[in-house]
Structure 1
Amino acid sequence: MASSVLLPGVSNLSVKVHPVVLLSICDAYIRRKEHQDRVIGTLLGVVVDNVIEVKNCYVVPHNESSDQVLVDLNHHKTMFDMLQKVAPHEVIVGWFATGADLYNSDPLIQEFYNKESTHPVHLVVDTTLKDNKFSIKAYLSRPLAFGDKQLATEFVQLPCDTIVSDIERVGAELMLTGLNDPSPESKRETANKSFSDEGETLQGSMARLADLVARASDYVQNVVDAMMVTYLSDLLRAHVALAERLGTAALPIM
């Protein structure tokens, strides 16, 4: 269950998300296994002046049903320890999930992250692009109890927005430019111009960025296939040349 009333004691909290986090989540959703309905993962960042700034994230493999969730704890710990070596100031601030709304199993996952962080944020990223819109929502949780007995968990929505540094803005604009004009010459010319168009918000751009990630994945696969064909052709030519030198009709390739 979700509510728009803020939690007592944290009514001034808000969430700011960097674009690299949203791109990583979109990429993870595109690469998910066929049977997976959604992907989840850990959010890393800092908390300054009641602002939870989400700077990084990583996927955590999981299996879930309506009453049970299995999380790969070893993967979670390994990824966190590795990223701590790169950015030791970034701590666990919550978790993310793709989808249009909350799931019945979310309280179980939230319970796990309550042990990892104080007031962990649950970030819901709608990758369905319904009505051609890219939306993100942030929640905190609180227990609903009767006396000493906890009956349920309530998710309370927090103000959530994106935060873009100058470097990130340039990178986002370069990616968007590549959708309309993929020529290298045009990219080099555009890279020397200003990319400070304040009229377009990041949310309005994320739908096109998600499409770009899918195109990039297909392109990489095509490049790998082409390299394999080239390698086999070179191997065959070398085989023929060696056979001619040795005066042998045929040699085994493998």
Structure 2
Amino acid sequence: MIIEIKEWLAEAAGYIRVSLTNQLTVSQKSGRTDLVTNIDEEIQSFFIKKINQHYPNDRILAEEKGFNTIDSFAGRVWIIDPIDGTMNFVMEQENFCIMIAVYEEGVGQLGFIYDVMKEELYWGGKNYGVFLNERKLPQPKDVTLSEGLIGMNAYMYRKNIYSAGEIGHASMGIRVSGCAGVELIAMLKGNHIGYISNLSPWDYAAGLVLINEFGFKYSNIEGKPLAFDKREYFLAATPAAYTQIQEKFIQ
């Protein structure tokens, strides 16, 4: 399965890179900053076709075109974000990712985050560890909030939602990429100690499998398990920083 998924990701990423030389069809979903392109939809359809061909009994949860709800996590479920960071894809043509997760009976087994323009695949899961392409990554240090950078949702920081502004000020500084995959990669590399945002399941499913392998803590912002069925405020951090954030800032 891992080899198959890597091959699918490489093919999809190649198609995306070529598509950047062509005219994109861009539409709005909930508003002018919530975009979807023809490439998002084509890449999702590509993965769904592959899964249906090779694993016809599996369920699929994905961002676009009516796949954004699921009735059960029983059995094996694939969670797909065809282009995470669509605004970056459209406006910057970089800092976006493809994300795929495989869950069994509600437990994450495999996660893949592909930085398309850098051609860097972060992948791993239970009994595998975490890899960048074929290089196994070392365990990041358990750094406190005051010692590290933290990824942040810009709106949450600006409006101080759930004390996001105060948390940012207590850290060494915030970083805003506009892409959950990029932020989760920064945690895997040990560059950031945490990430606070407002995310849907396809934004975090793959990353959770990977950060879980490194012992990061994660939950909704109030410390409850993530629902996997709606957009919700999200917190992931080193154990030390997570505890500090929960005890000092989240009321």
Q: Which has the higher helix share?
A: 1
TM-score (norm 2): 0.25
Asked which structure has the greater RCO (Cα within 8 Å, sep 6+), the reply is 1
TM-score (norm 1): 0.25
| Bigger Rg, structure 1 or 2 | 1
